Structure 1
Amino acid sequence: MSARHAETAAAAAFPGMELAEVRARAELQTRRDRKYLVRRDVFLAFLDRLADQGDWSILQIGGMRRFRYSSTYFDTPDLLTFRQHRQGRRRRFKVRTRSYLDTGACTFEVKLEGARDATVKQRREHPFALRDELTDDARAFLAEVLRAGYGVDPPGELIRTAVTAYWRRTLVQRSGTARITCDTGLVCRSEAAAVVADPGWVVVECKSAGPPTAADAVLADLGERPRRISKYCLAAAVLHPGLRANPWRRSLRDWFGTEDAESPPLPPARRRPETSRPRAAPGANEAPGVPVAPAVPAAPSEAGGRAA
């Protein structure tokens, strides 16, 4: 049985929960996140143990339990937000659009670092057709969020620096407010390169308003510990060789390598130069090379899907 079919079978052990109930129980726009990068065999064991607890449901929309996501990230030409995260700045933020490729929905999101390592995410609806662009409304919303949260104006210039695409399953605790997202098949793209993460790994993110959850305890019992993981920062590191990315060195070494045949479709490159060729992912011991241009293509053209 393939890894995908094994995970589908494991996910079938959970009762389904509709999106409206997921939002009511575990919206968690202000939360604490604990992220794990685990092998797929460990992930299957994790799902089995959670199912045995009888306290978790899985997001289900129209019979689907696994959803396609795409995020377009915006940063300054000198990658200010990447550098803020690399340096562990207390006042740091990320700017992105998130597209839900199975329903054609899209949001514009600003993530701030809150008090006591909490993540504060603020978002608003965004036109799906403009998912690779910062609209005037999005820029105004960004300015409002940064001024209210940090008392600062947004950077004068923001450009597209990376697009990520992946599959996601979402689990929700029925007796509390915890939520778990499980991401596979990550692909990162810029104008000059497309890099596919090793399909043997899964990012598990445990989200709660307070302390670690029962899911964290299961992962600890399986020998896993939280890691410092940021899809944007990892994407920036592999797409823009030459960037220092020390906080994510272990995850870069583990996660990026072989191609994944089940990776979700990526954006077609608009106006892509004919001479451009994708750059392969660096090997585990390969040092970064020369920076590439930060512009990226538009997000996928097919209608997509939204999950929590």
Structure 2
Amino acid sequence: MDLSKRYENLKSVIHQFDSVSLNEMNSVALMKRTDTKFIVNISYLTSILKELQKSYRVLEIKDKRIMDYMSLYLDTPEFKFYHDHHNGIVNRTKIRQRKYVDSNLTFLEIKQKNGKGETKKSRIKLKDFEADLSTSSKDFIFKITRQNFELKPSLWNRFNRITLVNLEDKERATIDLKLTYSSDNTEKSYENLVVIEVKQSKFDRTATIVKVLKKFNYLPYSISKYCIGVTHIYPNLKQNLFKNKLLKINKIIA
């Protein structure tokens, strides 16, 4: 089945879900949470979604359920954030600007991960992307990280996202597809890759989505969308510890 047909089937299934509004979803904001990722071949996504329909609602904004996102990641000239992840540093940071295109909202977001596997996200609203950080943005970054990083744009990322919400269990799941990375004149797209991220106060293996993914032989898999993009856009950077992850991704989406 060609990709365009898969997307048509996907849209059809998504519109069979009950919807949830942005305001309703705020009750499951989970700014401090455990994130658990799964990588899936898009050919299985429609079947997976059919089994989730009774337990989850889908975010809808202006009659749209598959949203457009854009991100601009920031890193130091030495790619500190990338190398921290590559080298297995448990207390690590990622800084990005993200535009929620359908809501016309842009945020500066800081994600901090600790040794317990918990992720804390802090953010402030921006007028638009800032290639050169404003004073208020720099002040916010220092307030959260207590460090004066020298930051520059490192990677652009575009993707589509479906957001599922279980209001009863205070749980969200994001489903990212059509991931495209770019910087200057270099671009890399993953048309068959789907990254599912389950966001919970703490990881619950009994959650419906986790059980359904296990049924399809998909188990939690730790990856960073940022780091995967960097390995393709900046092939000269150290990446030997990511090679097995790249092989795994290529095997799943083949």
* TM-score, normalization by structure 2: 0.91
Residues 169 and 181 in structure 1, CA contact (< 8 A), matched pair in contact too: yes
2:86 and 2:158 map into 1 onto residues whose CA distance is 22
1:78: how far off? 0.9
1:171-186 equivalent positions in 2, closer than 5 A = 171-186=164-179
User: Could you tell me which residue of structure 1 aligns to residue 18 of structure 2?
Assistant: 15
| C-alpha distance in 2 between matches for 1:115 and 1:253 | 26
Q: Which of 159, 162, 181 does residue 155 from structure 2 map onto?
A: 162
Q: Report the residue type matching 2:141 in the other structure.
A: L
CA contact (8 A) 2:179 2:193 kept: no
Letter in 2 for 1:140: D
User: Does the alignment pair 1:28 with 2:23?
Assistant: no
**Contact 1:166–1:187 under 8 Å retained in 2:** yes
C-alpha distance after superposition, 1:166-208 (max 9, x if no partner): 00000001321110000111110111311112x1221111110
Per-residue displacement from partner, 1:60-87 (whole Å, max 9, x unpaired)?
0111001110110111111001011111
Letter in 2 for 1:139: K
SS, match of residue 179 in structure 1: strand
In structure 2, the CA distance between the partners of 1:249 and 1:13, relative to structure 1 (3 Å rule), is: farther
Deviation for aligned residue 1:251 = 4.2
Q: Which residue of the partner structure matches residue 260 of structure 1?
A: none
Residue by residue over 1:213-259, the C-alpha shift from the partner in whole angstroms, topping out at 9 and shown as x without a partner, is: 221111112111111211111111100012233444344345579xx
- The Cα of 1:120 is off from its aligned counterpart by 0.5
Residues 129-187 of structure 1: per-residue CA shift (max 9 Å, x gap): x343322111100100012xxxxx232x1111100000000000132111000011111
CA distance in 1, matches of 2:141, 2:89: 19
| Number of aligned positions between the proteins | 247
Q: Structure 2: give runs of 5+ residues left out of the alignment.
A: none
Of 210-219 and 79-88, deviating more is: 210-219
Which of 212, 218, 227 aligns to 2:221? It is: 227
Give 3-state SS (helix, strand or coil) of 1:200's partner.
strand
Answer whether contact 1:97 1:132 (CA < 8 A) is retained: no
Q: Deviations over 1:12-35 (max 9, x none)?
A: 2210110010112x1011111111
CA distance in structure 1 between the aligned counterparts of 2:130 and 2:166, rounded to whole angstroms: 31
Q: Secondary structure at the match of 2:91?
A: coil
SS in 2 for 1:224: coil
SS in structure 1 of the partner of residue 116 of structure 2? helix
Alignment partners' CA distance in 2, 1:233 and 1:165: 15
Rounded to whole Å, the distance in 1 between the matches of 2:242 and 2:135 is 33
Query: How far apart are 1:40 and its partner, in Å?
Result: 1.5
Match of 1:210 in 2: 202
Which aligned pairs between 1:65-104 and structure 2 lie closer than 5 A? 65-104=65-104
8 Å contact from structure 1 (residues 37, 251) kept in 2? no
Deviation at 1:104?
Answer: 2.1
TM-score normalised according to structure 1 size: 0.76
Matches within 5 A, 1:149-298: 153-155=147-149, 157-197=150-190, 199-212=191-204, 213-253=207-247, 255=249
Q: Identity percentage over the alignment? A: 26
Could you tell me how far apart the structure 2 residues matched to 1:248 and 1:89 are?
14
In 2 relative to 1, CA 180–251 (structure 1 residues): closer, same or farther, beyond 3 Å? Answer: same
**Equivalent AA in structure 2 for residue 32 of structure 1:** T
Q: How does 1:117-128 map to 2 (within 5 A)?
A: 117-128=117-128
Which aligned runs of 4 or more in structure 1 are off by greater than 3 angstroms? 130-133, 253-257
Matching residue of 1:4: 7
Q: In the aligned structure 2, how far is the partner of 1:253 from the partner of 1:6?
A: 28
Q: Which residue does the alignment assign to 2:43?
A: 41
> Does structure 2 retain, via aligned residues, the 8 Å contact 1:36–1:225?
yes
Secondary structure of the residue aligned to 1:116 is coil
Query: What root-mean-square deviation, in Å, do the aligned CA atoms of Structure 1 and Structure 2 show?
Result: 1.8
In the TM superposition, residue 10 of structure 1 has moved relative to its aligned partner by 1.4
User: Do structure 1's residue 141 and structure 2's residue 135 form an aligned pair?
Assistant: no
